[in-house]
């Protein structure tokens, strides 16, 4: 009958095959059976799975999908990052961590129990909840991409940990930044000073090219930004000075031949990538161990706010897409709160003194 599927022989195959459909799409596969009775039972099992999918009890997994592994999905996801030019060292590391935890599994095996087991094991190994979330986000993204490309028909439910209270708190005061800057290698000074002044992400800064400069502005294309949105950054006097210094370093030598490097910031003509060792050494010599390069971004957001720059303008400079993201960087610490209370106290006293003078004149 219509909807019951069918069993049929296939030339050059000793097994009977079956055909069935779901939501207008036909599926064919081998039953791995030569006995018609057993082949019909195989088909019946498949039809039962389709029935469960239709009532929302369980997602149906197509024959090809059952052969996929999580590693396959992660490789596809990684390829998407590469095509978009957004595969950073950090992203690659997170994907590798996800692959190590789940890559050996079939997509059919990923369920709540498996995910909870990973969480438990990761916590036992002292992984931070934020780190666990980044791993699970890549797992979710890989499944979502598989659904978009019609390799799978479902995305497993993945519950993340709350990161409330995990706000970023690292800041670098201007005087402290100058100490760190003094100990950095010459080919990193301008790069780091640009980061402190603009709050620009390391990966974004490393991809800035001379072709993006238009007069006294730099037009940053969405292809190199994390949120995919283009923006224009005016060149302040400080930024203009950095650009002028970089102009004098555009020419590099490769294999004995002088050429112009298209990157504004580079290390002997190569893109600025991992310089963790040099950064840590500079912080140690400046007696500021533990400071992160990303603290420069947090500091810029805070400095902009404290200088009275409107939030929307500050977000345009740093490249934050939402208020919630910007708020995580613009955190008021105890010294800021103390200064605010002192200002309020001075204001109250001034108002009280003013009122007292008015009473005395009467």
pLDDT digits (tens, 9 = 90+) for 42-80: 999 889 888 877 777 666 666 666 678 999 999 999 999
Please tell me the predicted confidence (pLDDT) of residue 251. Answer: 93
- Interatomic CA distance for residues 159 and 139, integer angstroms: 11
More confident residue, 299 or 362: 299
Residue 11 has pLDDT above 80, yes or no: yes
Please tell me the predicted confidence (pLDDT) of residue 153. Answer: 72
- Interatomic CA distance for residues 190 and 266, integer angstroms: 10
**What element of type H or E holds 351?**
helix 334-361
Tell me the average pLDDT across 300-315.
83
Structure confidence by residue, pLDDT tens digits, 326-362: 666 655 555 565 666 777 778 778 887 877 766 555 5
Q: What does 82-120 look like in DSSP terms, one character per residue?
A: HHTT---HHHHHHHHHHHHHHTTSBGGG-SHHHHHHHHH
Angle between helices 129-148 and 112-124 (to 10 degrees): 150
Structure confidence by residue, pLDDT tens digits, 177-222: 999 999 999 999 999 999 999 999 999 999 999 999 999 999 999 8
Is the distance from CB of 225 to CB of 231 less than 8 angstroms? yes
Residue 4 has pLDDT above 90, yes or no: no
The burial of 54, by beta-carbon neighbours within 10 Å (0-12 exposed, 13-18 middle, 19 or more buried), is given as: exposed
Q: Please give the biggest Cα pair distance in the chain.
A: 113
Please tell me the predicted confidence (pLDDT) of residue 32. Answer: 87
Tell me the average pLDDT across 162-176.
76
Q: What Å distances lie between residue 248 and 28, 106, 241, CA to CA?
A: 65, 55, 11
Phi, psi of 170 (to 5 degrees): -85, 125
Is the distance from CB of 32 to CB of 10 less than 8 angstroms? no
Mean pLDDT computed over every residue of the chain: 86
Please report which confidence band the pLDDT of residue 91 belongs to, taking 50, 70 and 90 as the band edges. Answer: confident
Tell me the average pLDDT across 143-156.
83
Q: What pTM was estimated for this model as a whole? A: 0.56
Please tell me the predicted confidence (pLDDT) of residue 169. Answer: 63
More confident residue, 297 or 86: 297
- Interatomic CA distance for residues 159 and 151, integer angstroms: 23
Q: What are the beta bridge partners of residue 212?
A: none
Q: What Å distances lie between residue 215 and 189, 218, 224, 235, CA to CA?
A: 24, 8, 20, 9
Could you tell me which of 145, 71, 57 has the C-alpha nearest to residue 106? Answer: 71
- Interatomic CA distance for residues 15 and 200, integer angstroms: 61
| 165-174 CB burial, b ≥16 within 10 A, e <16 | eeeeeebbee
**What element of type H or E holds 146?**
helix 129-148
Please tell me the predicted confidence (pLDDT) of residue 54. Answer: 77
Residue 114 has pLDDT above 90, yes or no: yes
- The tokens of 69 are what? 């592994």
Please tell me the predicted confidence (pLDDT) of residue 335. Answer: 58
Residue 325 has pLDDT above 70, yes or no: no
Please tell me the predicted confidence (pLDDT) of residue 263. Answer: 96
Q: Is the dihedral of CA 340, 332, 227, 236 positive or negative?
A: positive
- Interatomic CA distance for residues 230 and 11, integer angstroms: 57
Query: Which residues, other chains included, contact 333 with Cβ-Cβ below 8 Å and sequence gap of 6+?
Result: 169, 171
């Amino acid at each position: 009958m219509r909807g019951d599927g069918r069993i049929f022989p296939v030339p050059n195959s000793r097994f009977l095959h079956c055909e069935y459909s779901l939501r207008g799409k036909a599926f064919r596969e081998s039953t791995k059976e030569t006995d018609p009775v057993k082949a019909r039972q195989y088909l019946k099992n498949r039809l039962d799975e389709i029935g469960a999918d239709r009532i929302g009890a369980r997602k149906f997994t197509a024959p090809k999908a059952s052969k996929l592994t999580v590693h396959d999905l992660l490789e596809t996801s990684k390829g998407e990052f590469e095509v978009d030019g957004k595969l950073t060292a950090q992203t690659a590391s997170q994907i590798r961590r996800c692959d190590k935890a789940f890559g050996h599994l079939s997509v059919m095996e990923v369920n709540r129990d498996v995910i909870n087991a990973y969480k438990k094991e990761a916590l036992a190994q002292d992984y931070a909840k934020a780190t666990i979330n980044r791993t699970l986000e890549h797992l979710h993204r890989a499944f979502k991409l598989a659904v978009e490309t019609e390799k799978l028909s479902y995305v497993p439910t993945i519950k993340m940990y709350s990161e409330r209270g995990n706000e970023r708190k690292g800041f670098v005061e201007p005087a402290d930044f100058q100490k760190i800057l003094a100990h950095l290698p010459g080919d990193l000074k301008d790069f780091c000073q640009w980061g402190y002044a603009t709050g620009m992400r390391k990966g974004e800064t490393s991809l800035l090219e001379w072709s993006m400069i238009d007069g006294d502005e730099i037009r940053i294309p969405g292809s190199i930004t994390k949120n995919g949105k283009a923006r224009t950054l005016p060149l302040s006097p400080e930024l203009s000075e950095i650009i002028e210094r970089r102009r004098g370093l555009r020419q590099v030598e490769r294999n004995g031949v002088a050429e112009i490097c298209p990157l504004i910031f580079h290390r002997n003509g190569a893109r600025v990538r991992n310089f963790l060792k040099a950064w840590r050494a500079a912080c140690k010599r400046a007696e500021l161990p533990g400071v992160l390069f990303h603290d420069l971004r947090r500091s810029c957001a805070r400095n902009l706010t404290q200088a009275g720059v409107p939030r929307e303008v500050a977000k345009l400079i740093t490249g934050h897409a939402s208020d919630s993201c910007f708020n995580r960087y613009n955190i008021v610490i105890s010294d800021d709160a103390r200064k605010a209370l002192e200002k309020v106290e001075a204001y109250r006293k001034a108002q009280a003194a003013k009122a007292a003078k008015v009473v005395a004149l009467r």
